Chain A
Amino acid sequence: MSIDTERAQQEKVEPPPGPVSLVRAELPRWAPYGILVASLVVVGVLLAVTGGFSIGLFVFLSAVLFGLATYLVSRVVEGARKATDRLVTIVVTVAFLIALIPLISVVITVVTNGLARFDAAFFTQSMRGVGGANDLAGGGYHAIMGTLIITALAAVMSIPVGVLTAVYLVEYGSKSRLARAVTFFVDVMTGIPSIVAGLFSFALFALFFGPSIRLGFAGSVALSVLMIPVVVRSTEEMLKIVPNELREAAYALGTPKWRTILKVVIPTSIAGIASGITLAIARVIGETAPLLIAVGITTGLNLNPFANRMATLPVFAYYSYAAPGVPREPFIDRAWTSALVLIIIVLVLNLVARLVARVFAPKTR
């Protein structure tokens, strides 16, 4: 045993051959790119030879080979820790690219399929009397109007309630029990599934008008349930970041609290509030399930949300796709065009929200 230890000690103290280097070897900067190109070429040639070439397989195998090759080369030259670091970098980057695939794919699919009927007729005609030989015409005019009316009504109900609640939470409630209860239940409301909101609205109206009630306004109520918590949350965040000095300055000038809120606090944060409200509208305008339950669908134009069924874009898209007439194709085309219009509306609302937040932000100079 003692001999063993001695030998080990002797081996340990033995100086390494040559001068001691304090710097680990490092791969040159071009190495990752070189390995990437090499893996692409190798996989491409292999697939071409075996004959089973497909884009998905090519990209997948190249990524795997790239990761493995980088890890091995780096491990040999730079050591295990650096190699793991490089491997993780590749994995994280690939994960991000994977996450982009659905977004790009959705946009491409909807645009290519939706452009076929993205014409004047779609925006000027309803589905009344469309069928049989008439089938190629027909559009989503009634659905677009329905979506706009129902969403506008929902916004009219949600915005005052949401903003006032946020004002209460930030300016009046502070730590009271009511404020804590409201905060908790707003969080709970954020998680209500949209279809449950639709069922609630239906149950409410069915209690008064009987179980066959379908009403544009019922849809607005359902959307409000979904929209109010979003408005409260975003407005609350915005009011919270208004500096207290502004409020105190107003109080010092003898301004009553409600005028301070209306003239100082809200104007300071109006950009953020408006942006949050726009995002909330964008969130509910694409909701399908609650409208399917509470509003139903109709073929003609109905501009009165307080009587009878209304058509809305998402529900119109759903029924055109899920229960098409004969022949099928015009219905499917209209479904895709509805989806395209819906995506455009949502994207525009998102852009507007960002622009509002940027343009009307309080000047810091």
Chain B
Amino acid sequence: MINSIIYEAQLIGFKEGIKAGLVWLVFYSYLLSNDRKSLAKSFYTGISLSLLLGLSFLLFPESPVSGDFIGNIISMSFALFLIFSGAALYHASGVDLFVFRDGMRSEFVIRTLVFSLTVIFFLPDFTGSAVYLNELAELKENTFMTAVSAAAGIMIAAVIIFSFVRLYKPFWLGSFFAFPQLLLFLAMVKLFGSGIKGISELSLIPSVQRGFIKFIHDLVHQTFVMLMVPDHPLLKKTTWDFIGTFFGPGFASIASLFILLALPALFINHTLFRPLPEPPARTNIARRKTRALMLSDRRKKAVPVIFFMVFIISAWFSYGGEKVLQVYDPEPRPVVADNGVIVIPLKDPVTDVMDGRLHKFSFVHEGEEVRVMVIKKADNSLSVCLDACEICPPSGYGQRDDHVVCLYCSTPIPVNTLGRAGGCNPVPLAADIGDGFIRIELKEIIKKWGFVNSGR
């Protein structure tokens, strides 16, 4: 039995269990320190419903929704918790964001809010893990053991959390959290533990990094266009190299980190630097005591935020160095033309072009190496392009997850958009795909390669 344990499933179960346990611990501590223990029921109802709905996806042999779709929902829920935490912070610091606040304070509304937030938090994650476990079960051809392994992982997490709570009774944790910090904590749990690609991507950080890097790149590009900075072929290499730093993944990564840290920094600013309100006390001693208590409370509430910032920075650079900034640039495989046609097999003993990775092929024409790239898109169609665009010198492209990246100017292009001509997109090629082969007319390749960097 032990030999049959599927460790990947166990890890997924463990991850979900730890996440749920941590969220329960912090939320329950928060309720205790605010004397609102009665709200725990709404939390339990929400988490139970999410678990049931999530587990129901295990019953479908084929998931009715794709992993990508659920991944998007998880990313959306992370973003919402992050934005909610910012809104709650401003509201708590005196900006009256919610006009109907008296109505919102009714018990029913608060219970509904807790229930809804719990479902929004847990349902996408549980569903994502269930869909992943389903795929794993199909791969391992053992549904029963996959489910048992996942359940074992959840049990291990439950035992750890239970033992920790029994031993240390850490309910003092609640005093470190006000409502905005609680929401920020939920967003951070999502950020660090909501990846749905199994052990290959446990956290959301790589996809958040990709999104930010793309945003920064596009913003820099748009700004350059508006300021009439010319395209790179026109500038001297040193000038372009300088400008190129703003397009590079290093700059984008640091700028993205700044954006992500902006909200926690705002928390620090609000908790540590804002002047304390004048306490309503009769004597100076009482006033000083109250001020000291308020100050201590504020400092306490800054502690988890500082922790989050340290976690984000360390995780950002550990992922940034190894994964997100890494570009996969395969060696081109030589091909030859047969009767004016380049023929590439879809699958041979060495390569499977449908494996989702970037594949490059090359041949020599009139002394110049001409490169073609092939990659599978999310809809399972193949994109066949030149390994060059119309603007840059033909340095080619590398793959960074679901983007190809121009090796010259670092422009990231989503794989799903390949096939569109113009700009920094790879030049698309007309190809005949069928009978296990990709066939491309040599003259089509030569004609388009000739126009690379010519702007046509």
Binding partners A and B: no
- Interface residues in chain A, defined as those with a beta carbon under 8 Å from any beta carbon in chain B: none
